[in-house]
A and B are shown apart, each in its own frame.
Chain A
């Protein structure tokens, strides 16, 4: 595999069993976020697994609901959470996720993971950061935000561009002030405002026209609808940010998490193991190939 790719954690970093058999975790808290989206806070039942399990910002787990199947969900919580809870913000759209939506505190769910590459938090130290996300693209970036806050002095200017459909769809609103207090400038936009909205209406990529960035020292992390990602990349490249410093998180159908089931391929890459986080430079040659 090409050395351009970020290192993924070895799949056995959790333990060998995770490759096929999920570990069991109890739902200890459910936070309703917006209509049809909640965050499930999980605690592994086996104390050894709880002790051993670690994830990096941007990685995902396969959540398993017996009888329904598995769904790939990025972790949205602080990787260094003191209670060792692992948060997953889930949108209820498919068979598995809709039924996860029916679970209650105390219910048990299967977890395999963590899988995939992470946001390159070490590599981008010293840089100005633009985090650009839309809709359900914010949760996979939230662990990175926590990491940045914990290590604020290691990063330069940090800008979070976040777009949602309507003001009601904005996630984690109670945390926004906290994030801003750590010198993260937050630029929120919605597709459609309401009577109380006096913020920006528009799409995320257009924000690049509203502020100045230093292309020599800026890194972009982006996650969200594919169309938004595409235009964030264009705007980044147009400002001469090198493709190696634009990091995208991709989504495809996944069954295994370890490059075995084949579903998530794009060119030579398995998104589950060589991604989901890629430097755009490795995807660049495929970006305009239709339906690839």
Chain B
């Protein structure tokens, strides 16, 4: 090991051969290392042990309603842009038991069985990091916190990665969340041919990195990384004009624009956009009992504002049409969210566009709405 003092903010060059040791060290410290793998013709976030588990040399082609893996020419591990999966599932699980009760004299709570997992997330993109910070505002508030989310969040170790090859549906530059990862991480990687440039974001990150063999990067190498990063910012597949948001989507007269009827003809109300969205937070609770009705569980599951039952009340449905449901989603995400949580609900990851089976491009829809109301 070189005799270099490293601290928060320092960038070092870590040979890729050292990375597996870093992962092993995380596991020894009680973390479950999760990262991207090629699975089901997509990229899935799941358990990984070593760099070899990652999608080496894989790039992605993405457009509205289209996602394809392509074997690229490089040997890099982070050349792809993520698939439908997001890190949301680790902090806000799609299905989690809230509690179980047992029938005694009345009802009593059964002991919770599962311990809270500690995750090390490997390869969190700028848009994804921003998404986690948006969900923090929802689930950890001064007046309320969600215990499941908070325990998982507080135990989190984050290795971020700067995106160098944006996909066709990316617009993080418009939302100010990427391609360089911002916000708080423990370590942040920029991938070059043989090394990762690693920026230290936390004391925990520093202490783990300190045990590895690394160099200080030359100005030349740093320049290459910076150039690639600024080129990536120029290569965004989509650009969203945010100058009139949230107002464009919250003004009552705009909520009655003809364009909503037009989108409604194409939208299937399938809810894919909400399920792939890394910030969508709506949930429902379902109940189950054992056969002799002595144990009952309450389980939280992801819900979607596209689900007709979502807005059901006795006597009817407050959003009975696809027009109303699509409008609710878009105007919440890019409009009302700002007043609720101080930020828009979108980070520009582009998943909602890529995974829409009807190829609805929300960036284009916002532009079309703008054109209609401000001709």
Contacts and interface: CB of A to CB of B under 8 A. Distances in A.
Interface residues of B, number: 49
Contacts of A64: 298
Contacts of A253: 310-313, 318
B314 interface: yes
Contacts of B285: 69-70, 255, 261
Contacts of A12: 143-144
B252 A288 contact: yes
Interface stretch (B190-198, B287-295, B356-364): B287-295
Contacts of A94: 314
A12 B142 CA distance: 10
A10 to B, nearest CB: 6
Interface stretch (B1-9, B70-78, B153-161, B320-328): B320-328
Interface in B1-33: none
Interface residues of A, number: 44
Given A11-B143, A20-B146, A268-B339, 12 more contacts: A12-B143, A19-B146, A66-B296, A94-B314, A252-B311, A253-B311, A260-B144, A261-B284, A262-B283, A289-B252, A289-B256, A292-B318
A10 B143 contact: yes
A80 interface: no
B216 interface: no
A292 B324 contact: yes
Contacts of B340: 1, 259, 268, 270
B318 A291 contact: yes
A250 to B, nearest CB: 10
A251 interface: yes
A164 B310 CA distance: 29
Interface in A233-291: 251-253, 255-256, 258-263, 265, 267-268, 270, 285-286, 288-291
8 contacts: A12-B144, A20-B147, A21-B109, A70-B285, A251-B313, A260-B139, A260-B281, A268-B250
Given A10-B143, A260-B144, A263-B303, A255 B312 contact: no
Given A26-B106, A291-B321, A259 B298 contact: no
A260 B146 contact: yes
A69 to B, nearest CB: 5
Interface in A191-231: 225
A221 B339 CA distance: 27
B38 interface: no
B175 interface: no
B318 A252 contact: yes
B305 interface: yes
B257 to A, nearest CB: 11
Nearest to B284: A255
Contact of A290 (B103, B256, B283, B332): B256
A224 B313 CA distance: 14
A105 interface: no
A201 B248 CA distance: 46
Interface in A9-59: 10-12, 19-21, 24, 26, 45
Interface in A58-86: 64, 66-70
A121 interface: no
Nearest to A255: B285
A262 B282 contact: yes
B313 A252 contact: yes
Nearest to A108: B106
A291 B328 CA distance: 9
A238 B332 CA distance: 32
A93 interface: yes
Contacts of A134: none
B51 interface: no
B323 A291 contact: yes
A84 to B, nearest CB: 18
A110 interface: yes
**For A26, A68, A268, which residue has the most chain B Cβ atoms within 10 angstroms?**
A268
B258 interface: no
A255 B328 CA distance: 18
Contacts of A93: 314
A291 B319 contact: yes
A24 B250 CA distance: 42
Contacts of A290: 256, 324
Give 5 nearest A-B pairs by CB, closest first: A262-B282, A66-B296, A108-B106, A291-B324, A67-B289
Contacts of B107: 24, 66, 108, 110
Contacts of B339: 1-2, 268
B164 to A, nearest CB: 35
Interface in B299-321: 303, 305, 310-315, 318-321
Contacts of A225: 315
B298 to A, nearest CB: 7
A10 B141 CA distance: 12
Given A12-B143, A260-B281, A21 B323 contact: no
B369 interface: no
A93 B312 CA distance: 13
